[in-house]
Structure 1
């Protein structure tokens, strides 16, 4: 399957049906969990009117449900994932805690499915979902630790389309704040240091820094998997130090 620039994957129309009924059962279970988390995040986002990290996560969750549905179709199997009812969270902190728990529950299941996948296309699709789910955990975990501000200084509005500090999964180094207060723009070396800090703090041993290029107002950095596949591209704003996904 090809990874499109916007993070979309083309799932092949036809794939060999998996021989392991246990594997198929586990894929059905994860589809139910993905539908559950999508419904939960959508409900929480509306209830608490919170932009981040929901606006990054929800479109990807929609993709996950779609892609797994497409896998079942490619196998010629029925997906039948039911959507369980959502939890009525009383506070945003409760919502973040539940999100962290839900994402944590998904990761080992995806790891198992990827490892036991019977064809390469299936493994690739599920591996992309696994990578994105790891980001989701990092983001919700960060939101929980940072409180409601999500790494933004108070009084700084989030403009439309501004993904801002969602990359700040650091411990004590806020990307959400202005990275430097000297008023001078960030240079390539600093951009590289910031990205290395970020990757170190994401505690994900499978990711590493790729090429960084100057795009004028920002630096564009590639985040690679161990096998040198691109997992994400990010822009680092030279003036503010904000890091956001290029997709």
Structure 2
């Protein structure tokens, strides 16, 4: 039941929500969630694209709003996530995709929107990894995907906390 509700939430977000990312078909988590099954090549490519995009988005946000938490900590984590994925490309003889994420990220209009962008990105990321983990995966890939999903759950909590703080602050200002 929880998985069904999460899937419905993700579909609702995909169709109804305006993400801070420009519309790019078949890229990162958005592309991955378009299909139910994927090859190992596709999963690794979608995964690294999504990690590239998250890093680029958080760096863009920090360039405008300052090097603040949780963006600064999570950007460092995204760099680590990329480094966890890169050896899998080499091991499975898959060409590492060109990082085009700088071309698709969009600066949120406010810091509050930036926190919500983090929430949205992590929700999609978690859903992508949950989908991948249903596939028959080599043990090392499964281990990395589980670690990335768990990290995204921590990032989601950090961004949700910031959204809550921003909401309380705005209420107190009125």
TM-score range, shorter chain: 0.5 to 0.7
Query: Aligned residue for 2:151?
Result: 132
Higher relative CO (Cα under 8 Å, sequence separation at least 6) belongs to 2
State the alpha-carbon separation in 2 of the partners of residues 21 and 116 from structure 1: 8
State yes or no: 1:55 paired with 2:55.
no
- Deviation, 1:118, is 2.3
Query: Aligned residue for 2:141?
Result: 122
Task: Mark the structure with the bigger radius of gyration.
Answer: 1
* CA distance 1:59–1:148, change in 2 (3 Å): farther
Secondary structure, in 3 states, of the residue corresponding to 1:107?
helix
State the alpha-carbon separation in 1 of the partners of residues 87 and 76 from structure 2: 16
Query: Aligned residue for 2:109?
Result: 90
Aligned alpha-carbon RMSD (Å): 2.2
State the alpha-carbon separation in 2 of the partners of residues 121 and 22 from structure 1: 15
Q: Deviations over 1:93-112 (max 9, x none)?
A: 11111111111111111112
Structure 1: gaps of 5 or more residues: 1-19, 151-247
Query: Number of aligned pairs?
Result: 131
State the alpha-carbon separation in 2 of the partners of residues 21 and 114 from structure 1: 11
State the alpha-carbon separation in 1 of the partners of residues 167 and 73 from structure 2: 16
Which of 101, 123, 135 is the aligned partner of 2:120? 101
Query: Aligned residue for 1:34?
Result: 51
Structure 2: gaps of 5 or more residues: 1-36, 170-174
CA contact (8 A) 1:27 1:113 kept: no
Q: TM-score, normalised by structure 1?
A: 0.49
CA contact (8 A) 1:103 1:136 kept: yes
CA contact (8 A) 2:41 2:94 kept: no
State yes or no: 1:75 paired with 2:69.
no
Query: Aligned residue for 2:60?
Result: 43
Structure number with the higher strand fraction is: 1
Query: Aligned residue for 1:25?
Result: 42
State the alpha-carbon separation in 1 of the partners of residues 38 and 119 from structure 2: 29
State the alpha-carbon separation in 2 of the partners of residues 21 and 56 from structure 1: 31
- Deviation, 1:117, is 4.3
